[in-house]
Amino acid sequence: MSEKEATPQTQATATGPEAALESALKLMAESLNALCAGKPVFGEVSVAPDAAGAWPEKLVAPLIVSKFEISGDLAGAAFMIANALDARAMRALMLGKEPSGKDASPELSEDELDAYREFGNNAASAVGASLRETFGCAASAVMSSSHSAGDSDKVLAEIGKGCLLASVAGKIADRETALALAFDAETCRSITGLENSRAEKEKDVSPRTEEVSENIKRILKLPVPIIVILAEKQITFESAINLSEGSIIEFNKSNNEPLDMLVNNHKIGKGRAIKIGENFGLRVDEIGSPQNIVETLR
Protein backbone atom coordinates (compact mmCIF):
# COMPACT_ATOMS: atom_id res chain seq x y z
CA MET A 1 0.00 0.00 0.00
CA SER A 2 1.41 3.41 -0.96
CA GLU A 3 1.25 6.46 1.29
CA LYS A 4 -1.40 8.04 -0.97
CA GLU A 5 -3.74 5.09 -0.39
CA ALA A 6 -3.54 5.34 3.40
CA THR A 7 -6.86 5.45 5.20
CA PRO A 8 -7.55 7.81 8.11
CA GLN A 9 -6.63 6.58 11.59
CA THR A 10 -9.19 6.09 14.32
CA GLN A 11 -8.60 6.54 18.02
CA ALA A 12 -8.65 3.22 19.85
CA THR A 13 -9.15 2.38 23.49
CA ALA A 14 -5.85 0.86 24.55
CA THR A 15 -5.82 -2.47 26.38
CA GLY A 16 -3.20 -5.23 26.69
CA PRO A 17 -0.43 -4.78 24.07
CA GLU A 18 -2.21 -1.64 22.86
CA ALA A 19 -1.80 0.02 26.28
CA ALA A 20 1.97 -0.57 26.33
CA LEU A 21 2.35 0.56 22.72
CA GLU A 22 0.41 3.79 23.32
CA SER A 23 2.35 4.55 26.50
CA ALA A 24 5.72 3.90 24.82
CA LEU A 25 4.96 6.21 21.88
CA LYS A 26 3.86 8.99 24.24
CA LEU A 27 7.18 8.65 26.12
CA MET A 28 9.07 8.69 22.81
CA ALA A 29 7.35 11.91 21.72
CA GLU A 30 8.19 13.51 25.08
CA SER A 31 11.81 12.36 24.74
CA LEU A 32 12.01 13.84 21.24
CA ASN A 33 10.64 17.16 22.51
CA ALA A 34 13.30 17.21 25.23
CA LEU A 35 16.16 16.33 22.87
CA CYS A 36 15.11 18.96 20.34
CA ALA A 37 14.53 21.78 22.86
CA GLY A 38 10.75 21.40 22.66
CA LYS A 39 10.55 22.15 18.90
CA PRO A 40 8.63 19.02 17.68
CA VAL A 41 4.92 19.10 18.57
CA PHE A 42 2.80 15.95 18.52
CA GLY A 43 -0.90 15.28 19.12
CA GLU A 44 -2.87 12.25 20.31
CA VAL A 45 -1.59 8.71 19.83
CA SER A 46 -3.67 6.34 17.69
CA VAL A 47 -3.41 2.52 17.90
CA ALA A 48 -4.57 0.16 15.15
CA PRO A 49 -4.39 -3.66 14.77
CA ASP A 50 -4.48 -3.31 10.95
CA ALA A 51 -1.15 -1.59 10.30
CA ALA A 52 -1.52 -1.60 6.50
CA GLY A 53 -5.00 -0.08 6.61
CA ALA A 54 -4.11 2.53 9.22
CA TRP A 55 -0.73 3.73 7.99
CA PRO A 56 -0.42 7.42 9.03
CA GLU A 57 -0.99 9.69 6.04
CA LYS A 58 1.81 12.09 7.03
CA LEU A 59 4.46 9.37 7.43
CA VAL A 60 5.89 9.27 3.92
CA ALA A 61 9.03 8.00 2.19
CA PRO A 62 11.97 8.07 2.53
CA LEU A 63 11.59 6.15 5.79
CA ILE A 64 14.08 5.08 8.42
CA VAL A 65 13.43 2.12 10.75
CA SER A 66 14.97 1.34 14.14
CA LYS A 67 14.52 -2.16 15.57
CA PHE A 68 14.37 -2.77 19.33
CA GLU A 69 14.92 -6.31 20.66
CA ILE A 70 12.64 -7.06 23.64
CA SER A 71 13.84 -9.49 26.33
CA GLY A 72 13.14 -10.55 29.90
CA ASP A 73 9.66 -11.79 30.84
CA LEU A 74 8.55 -10.77 27.34
CA ALA A 75 10.06 -11.52 23.93
CA GLY A 76 9.81 -10.06 20.46
CA ALA A 77 10.68 -6.82 18.73
CA ALA A 78 9.45 -3.24 18.41
CA PHE A 79 10.02 -0.99 15.41
CA MET A 80 10.22 2.81 15.37
CA ILE A 81 9.45 4.36 11.97
CA ALA A 82 10.22 7.96 11.02
CA ASN A 83 10.83 10.04 7.92
CA ALA A 84 14.53 10.31 7.03
CA LEU A 85 14.25 14.06 6.44
CA ASP A 86 12.77 14.42 9.94
CA ALA A 87 15.82 12.57 11.30
CA ARG A 88 18.02 15.17 9.59
CA ALA A 89 15.95 18.00 11.09
CA MET A 90 16.19 16.35 14.54
CA ARG A 91 20.00 16.44 14.37
CA ALA A 92 19.96 20.16 13.61
CA LEU A 93 17.56 20.86 16.47
CA MET A 94 19.63 18.72 18.86
CA LEU A 95 22.64 20.91 17.98
CA GLY A 96 20.59 24.05 18.66
CA LYS A 97 20.32 24.95 14.97
CA GLU A 98 17.37 25.59 12.69
CA PRO A 99 16.88 22.89 9.99
CA SER A 100 17.74 24.33 6.58
CA GLY A 101 15.53 22.08 4.49
CA LYS A 102 17.98 22.39 1.60
CA ASP A 103 19.28 18.80 1.76
CA ALA A 104 16.51 16.52 0.46
CA SER A 105 18.75 13.45 0.04
CA PRO A 106 17.04 10.27 1.36
CA GLU A 107 20.41 8.93 2.57
CA LEU A 108 21.58 10.15 5.97
CA SER A 109 25.21 10.94 6.71
CA GLU A 110 27.04 9.10 9.49
CA ASP A 111 26.72 12.16 11.77
CA GLU A 112 22.98 12.28 11.10
CA LEU A 113 22.63 8.55 11.77
CA ASP A 114 24.61 8.90 15.02
CA ALA A 115 22.27 11.67 16.20
CA TYR A 116 19.23 9.60 15.26
CA ARG A 117 20.65 6.57 17.08
CA GLU A 118 20.86 8.70 20.24
CA PHE A 119 17.13 9.29 19.96
CA GLY A 120 16.71 5.58 19.15
CA ASN A 121 18.43 4.58 22.40
CA ASN A 122 16.08 6.90 24.33
CA ALA A 123 13.13 5.40 22.45
CA ALA A 124 14.26 1.86 23.34
CA SER A 125 14.38 2.87 27.01
CA ALA A 126 10.84 4.25 26.65
CA VAL A 127 9.61 0.93 25.23
CA GLY A 128 11.20 -1.04 28.08
CA ALA A 129 9.84 1.36 30.72
CA SER A 130 6.35 1.18 29.23
CA LEU A 131 6.34 -2.64 29.26
CA ARG A 132 7.56 -2.76 32.86
CA GLU A 133 5.06 -0.15 34.05
CA THR A 134 2.08 -1.55 32.13
CA PHE A 135 2.59 -5.20 33.04
CA GLY A 136 4.74 -5.06 36.19
CA CYS A 137 7.26 -7.47 34.70
CA ALA A 138 10.99 -7.66 34.03
CA ALA A 139 11.39 -6.42 30.46
CA SER A 140 13.93 -4.38 28.54
CA ALA A 141 14.35 -3.14 24.97
CA VAL A 142 17.67 -2.51 23.25
CA MET A 143 18.13 -0.94 19.82
CA SER A 144 19.75 -3.49 17.49
CA SER A 145 19.70 -1.58 14.18
CA SER A 146 18.73 1.62 12.35
CA HIS A 147 18.53 1.67 8.56
CA SER A 148 16.84 3.25 5.56
CA ALA A 149 13.74 1.31 4.59
CA GLY A 150 12.26 2.96 1.51
CA ASP A 151 8.46 3.19 1.64
CA SER A 152 5.67 1.83 3.85
CA ASP A 153 5.32 -1.41 1.84
CA LYS A 154 8.93 -2.35 2.61
CA VAL A 155 8.53 -1.39 6.28
CA LEU A 156 5.41 -3.54 6.72
CA ALA A 157 7.12 -6.45 4.99
CA GLU A 158 10.02 -6.17 7.46
CA ILE A 159 7.78 -6.00 10.54
CA GLY A 160 5.63 -8.91 9.36
CA LYS A 161 1.98 -9.86 9.59
CA GLY A 162 0.05 -9.65 12.84
CA CYS A 163 1.83 -6.51 14.01
CA LEU A 164 0.26 -3.73 16.07
CA LEU A 165 0.88 -0.12 15.03
CA ALA A 166 0.67 3.14 16.97
CA SER A 167 1.26 6.54 15.42
CA VAL A 168 1.25 10.20 16.37
CA ALA A 169 0.98 13.12 13.95
CA GLY A 170 2.63 16.48 14.48
CA LYS A 171 5.22 18.92 13.20
CA ILE A 172 9.00 18.99 13.12
CA ALA A 173 10.46 22.34 12.10
CA ASP A 174 7.06 23.49 10.75
CA ARG A 175 6.77 20.42 8.50
CA GLU A 176 3.76 18.16 9.04
CA THR A 177 4.84 14.61 9.72
CA ALA A 178 4.20 11.54 11.89
CA LEU A 179 6.08 9.08 14.04
CA ALA A 180 5.11 5.40 14.37
CA LEU A 181 5.90 2.50 16.68
CA ALA A 182 4.98 -1.14 16.06
CA PHE A 183 5.05 -4.39 18.05
CA ASP A 184 5.61 -7.50 15.95
CA ALA A 185 3.33 -10.54 16.26
CA GLU A 186 5.72 -12.31 18.67
CA THR A 187 5.58 -9.39 21.12
CA CYS A 188 1.76 -9.32 21.01
CA ARG A 189 1.60 -13.09 21.65
CA SER A 190 4.12 -12.79 24.48
CA ILE A 191 2.09 -10.06 26.20
CA THR A 192 -1.16 -11.99 25.79
CA GLY A 193 0.49 -15.12 27.18
CA LEU A 194 1.77 -13.22 30.23
CA GLU A 195 -1.68 -11.76 30.92
CA ASN A 196 -3.38 -15.16 30.53
CA SER A 197 -0.86 -16.79 32.88
CA ARG A 198 -1.49 -14.14 35.54
CA ALA A 199 -5.25 -14.50 35.15
CA GLU A 200 -4.94 -18.22 35.88
CA LYS A 201 -2.84 -17.58 38.98
CA GLU A 202 -5.35 -15.05 40.31
CA LYS A 203 -7.98 -17.82 40.42
CA ASP A 204 -5.93 -19.57 43.12
CA VAL A 205 -5.50 -16.62 45.49
CA SER A 206 -4.53 -17.63 49.01
CA PRO A 207 -6.78 -16.60 51.97
CA ARG A 208 -3.69 -14.94 53.45
CA THR A 209 -3.34 -12.54 50.48
CA GLU A 210 -4.64 -9.49 52.37
CA GLU A 211 -2.34 -10.18 55.32
CA VAL A 212 0.68 -10.59 53.02
CA SER A 213 -0.24 -7.39 51.16
CA GLU A 214 -0.23 -5.40 54.42
CA ASN A 215 3.22 -6.79 55.28
CA ILE A 216 4.52 -5.79 51.83
CA LYS A 217 3.13 -2.27 52.23
CA ARG A 218 5.13 -1.89 55.46
CA ILE A 219 8.29 -3.23 53.78
CA LEU A 220 7.92 -0.81 50.86
CA LYS A 221 8.24 2.15 53.24
CA LEU A 222 11.65 1.05 54.53
CA PRO A 223 14.54 3.31 53.35
CA VAL A 224 17.24 1.47 51.37
CA PRO A 225 20.47 2.81 49.79
CA ILE A 226 20.71 2.88 45.98
CA ILE A 227 24.20 2.68 44.48
CA VAL A 228 25.44 3.08 40.90
CA ILE A 229 28.81 1.46 40.17
CA LEU A 230 30.84 3.40 37.62
CA ALA A 231 33.65 0.82 37.41
CA GLU A 232 35.86 -1.29 39.63
CA LYS A 233 39.24 -3.02 39.49
CA GLN A 234 41.82 -4.54 41.82
CA ILE A 235 45.14 -2.82 42.51
CA THR A 236 47.97 -3.63 44.89
CA PHE A 237 48.03 -2.15 48.36
CA GLU A 238 51.27 -0.39 47.40
CA SER A 239 49.52 1.29 44.45
CA ALA A 240 46.67 2.35 46.73
CA ILE A 241 48.88 4.07 49.30
CA ASN A 242 50.86 5.80 46.52
CA LEU A 243 47.76 7.51 45.13
CA SER A 244 47.83 11.30 45.35
CA GLU A 245 45.89 14.28 44.08
CA GLY A 246 46.01 14.26 40.29
CA SER A 247 46.53 10.50 40.02
CA ILE A 248 44.65 8.86 37.12
CA ILE A 249 43.20 5.36 37.36
CA GLU A 250 42.21 3.58 34.13
CA PHE A 251 39.45 0.97 34.20
CA ASN A 252 38.85 -1.85 31.73
CA LYS A 253 35.39 -0.55 30.89
CA SER A 254 34.13 1.48 27.95
CA ASN A 255 32.65 4.89 28.80
CA ASN A 256 29.39 3.96 27.02
CA GLU A 257 28.81 0.62 28.77
CA PRO A 258 25.74 0.39 31.03
CA LEU A 259 26.31 0.91 34.76
CA ASP A 260 25.22 -1.58 37.42
CA MET A 261 22.54 -0.36 39.83
CA LEU A 262 22.45 -1.80 43.37
CA VAL A 263 19.89 -1.54 46.14
CA ASN A 264 21.04 -2.60 49.57
CA ASN A 265 24.24 -3.90 47.90
CA HIS A 266 22.29 -6.24 45.59
CA LYS A 267 22.27 -5.73 41.83
CA ILE A 268 18.76 -5.05 40.52
CA GLY A 269 19.35 -3.51 37.08
CA LYS A 270 21.48 -1.50 34.67
CA GLY A 271 21.36 1.99 33.20
CA ARG A 272 23.26 4.74 31.44
CA ALA A 273 24.66 7.93 32.95
CA ILE A 274 22.87 11.17 32.05
CA LYS A 275 23.18 14.81 33.08
CA ILE A 276 20.21 16.35 34.92
CA GLY A 277 20.92 20.05 35.26
CA GLU A 278 24.19 20.17 37.17
CA ASN A 279 23.65 16.71 38.68
CA PHE A 280 24.51 13.17 37.64
CA GLY A 281 21.60 10.81 36.94
CA LEU A 282 20.88 7.32 35.61
CA ARG A 283 18.50 6.34 32.81
CA VAL A 284 17.36 2.79 33.68
CA ASP A 285 17.67 0.39 30.70
CA GLU A 286 17.17 -2.94 32.51
CA ILE A 287 15.35 -3.63 35.77
CA GLY A 288 14.07 -6.72 37.51
CA SER A 289 10.41 -7.24 38.30
CA PRO A 290 9.17 -6.11 41.74
CA GLN A 291 8.97 -9.78 42.76
CA ASN A 292 12.58 -10.44 41.68
CA ILE A 293 13.83 -7.33 43.48
CA VAL A 294 12.12 -8.39 46.71
CA GLU A 295 13.65 -11.88 46.39
CA THR A 296 17.10 -10.35 45.78
CA LEU A 297 16.88 -8.21 48.92
CA ARG A 298 15.91 -11.04 51.29
Average pLDDT over the chain, rounded to an integer: 82
Answer for the pair 293, 263: CB distance below 8 angstroms, yes or no.
Answer: yes
Q: What is the pLDDT of residues 110-163, one digit of tens each?
A: 878 887 888 888 889 989 999 998 888 889 999 999 888 888 999 999 999 889
Taking the whole predicted model, whether its pTM rises above 0.85 is answered as no
Q: What confidence tier does 14 reach under pLDDT thresholds 50, 70, 90?
A: very low
Residue 204: predicted pLDDT: 58
Q: What is the pLDDT of residues 49-88, one digit of tens each?
A: 777 778 999 999 889 999 999 999 999 999 999 998 888 8
Residue 175: predicted pLDDT: 83
Listed range (3-17, 126-140, 198-212, 277-291) with the worst mean pLDDT: 3-17
Q: What confidence tier does 6 reach under pLDDT thresholds 50, 70, 90?
A: very low
Domains of the chain: 3-194 (3.40.1550.10), 221-297 (2.30.330.10)
More confident residue, 108 or 164: 164
Residue 206: predicted pLDDT: 52
Answer for the pair 62, 215: CB distance below 8 angstroms, yes or no.
Answer: no
Predicted confidence (pLDDT) at residue 108 exceeds the cutoff of 70: yes
Predicted confidence (pLDDT) at residue 7 exceeds the cutoff of 70: no
Residue 103: predicted pLDDT: 59
Answer for the pair 271, 283: CB distance below 8 angstroms, yes or no.
Answer: yes
Average pLDDT over residues 244-254: 87
Residue 10: predicted pLDDT: 36
Q: What is the pLDDT of residues 216-238, one digit of tens each?
A: 677 777 788 888 988 888 999 99
